[in-house]
Amino acid sequence: MGCPSSFRMNSVGKKAGPIPLASRIGALNLGGVNSSLRSGCGLGQAPTNSGLAFILGRAPRGRLANQIPAEILNNPQLQAAIQVLPSNYNFEIPKTIWRIQQAQAKKVALQMPEGLLLFACTIVDILERFTEAEVMVMGDVTYGACCVDDFTARALGADFLVHYGHSCLVPMDTSAQDFRVLYVFVDIRIDTTHLLDSIRLTFPPASALALVSTIQFVSTLQAAAQELKAEYRVSVPQCKPLSPGEILGCTSPHLPKEVEAVVYLGDGRFHLESVMIANPSVPAYRYDPYSKVLSREQYDCQRMQANRQEAIAAARSAKSWGLILGTLGRQGSPKILEHLESRLRALGLPFMRLLLSEIFPSKLRLLPEVDVWVQVACPRLSIDWGTAFPKPLLTPYEAAVALRDISWQQPYPMDFYAGSSLGPWTVNHGRDRLLQHPGRLALAKVPERPARPFPAVACEACSCRDEEVAPLAP
């Protein structure tokens, strides 16, 4: 899996360095706290949403209840405090303060990936100065939105959780009055001019391109797609319930045959490999917004599939099965576990359950009587590291193949959180067909404003529920 072709350039073809962080972290006298912020505020004006919204829980409580008061948005002391954070990162501090006030939260937990932890102390200081809440940071590892850890937050006495850096993959029940969850995407602005120039220098006009990214760069991705549509046949694919253009390490769309290349905007390869596995015949490129490098990426899908088929073949002769439920946040799905249990019972196959926050080969070696393991945590554990385990380590999909519930699929499906997935061995199977009943997930159309594209999927706890995710990159 190498990168045979890569380059770094700026708009005139010269070498360019990494994008500056633009952080202005330093000493700042925040002064006194505005009493109106601490005691609650009147209602101000906020921009409207657009696109497709996922509304969780009861019927919408009205736009006015979700608008951020002008007393918060225009507070000079709060604006000065926010300036300490990087200017191209949107932590949505005003909305967070307003939501904490609305919930009358007393103890707030912050959860974020390791790449954002360096900003945690600053955010804690701001939130504690402008609300009445005590704020704490949850330092356990957070790999993705599937790791949102409301269980630990509740156990620590928190009544409000702010989850940074991921979309609302695991919706929370907003009907529970004693606990609230707010998802903050942390939209990151980047140099879109350099991205556009890199694409223009790489692909001839009229090429059919698919653009994908992680949630941090989705608003920039959609703006870039609008710019490129005059020169290219551009698509921003969607794998619902994700936002248009958003992909996960375990969930990516199957691209149409006419797509000639897929361009991933983001650092690292984990998410990109997901769309490469789902579309092995489509050339893949990665644009790193920090190094400003556009590279051609490779993935050995044939070798991966051969490894997985070998594990499935071994599982078919297994006498005893082990079912692992991931306990890292909400990573494990009890619904999938129950489905697997029912299938094994129907076939008369003995099994044991094992709860693990992290799955290591050394841990499973302690249970040699188990012939095959099925992990309900992250499919990529099996795909990426399955050969390192002493016994076959299957995904729920691979278990379905081993149990002959479904035939081997080509290409390999990356639909673990997709609403239109293959079967009940995925988290959101059948979600697209849910009826709009009170207290259940509903699809609602809201007015579209094409001049300002931004992530279209939202829920009551998401960054894009009340206002646009972030200003577009310059």
Cα dihedral sign, 419-218-70-32: positive
Average pLDDT over residues 189-202: 95
Of the candidate ranges 31-35, 134-138, 353-357, 363-367, the one whose mean pLDDT is the lowest: 31-35
E strands, 278-378, are 284-288, 293-297, 321-326, 351-356, 372-376
Q: Which residue has the higher pLDDT, 435 or 371?
A: 371
pLDDT at 167: 84
Contact status, residue 133 vs residue 88, Cβ threshold 8 Å: no
Q: What is the mean pLDDT of the chain?
A: 81
pLDDT in tens, 86-109: 999 999 999 999 999 999 999 999
Question: Is the predicted pLDDT of residue 17 greater than 80, yes or no?
Answer: no
pLDDT in tens, 50-78: 333 333 333 344 444 568 999 999 999 99
pLDDT in tens, 300-318: 999 999 999 999 999 999 9
Average pLDDT over residues 164-177: 70
pLDDT at 250: 95
Instruction: Give the angle 128-72-471 at the CA atoms, nearest 5°.
Output: 105
Contact status, residue 153 vs residue 58, Cβ threshold 8 Å: no
pLDDT at 19: 32
pLDDT at 169: 79
Question: Is the predicted pLDDT of residue 49 greater than 50, yes or no?
Answer: no
Of the candidate ranges 16-30, 264-278, 285-299, the one whose mean pLDDT is the lowest: 16-30
Average pLDDT over residues 195-200: 98
State the Rg of the chain over Cα: 23
Average pLDDT over residues 323-332: 92
pLDDT at 176: 54
The span from the CA of 151 to the CA of 120, in Å, is: 20
- At residue 285, the 3 state secondary structure works out as strand
Q: Which residue has the higher pLDDT, 142 or 221?
A: 221
pLDDT in tens, 385-422: 999 999 999 999 999 999 999 999 999 999 999 988 89
Question: Is the predicted pLDDT of residue 262 greater than 90, yes or no?
Answer: yes
Buried b (16+ CB within 10 A) or exposed e, 218-243: bbbbbbbbeebeebbebbbbbbbbbb
pLDDT at 191: 85
Of the candidate ranges 214-218, 362-366, 462-466, the one whose mean pLDDT is the lowest: 462-466
Q: Go through the domains of the chain in sequence order and give each one's CATH number.
A: 190-297 (3.40.50.11850), 302-433 (3.40.50.11860)
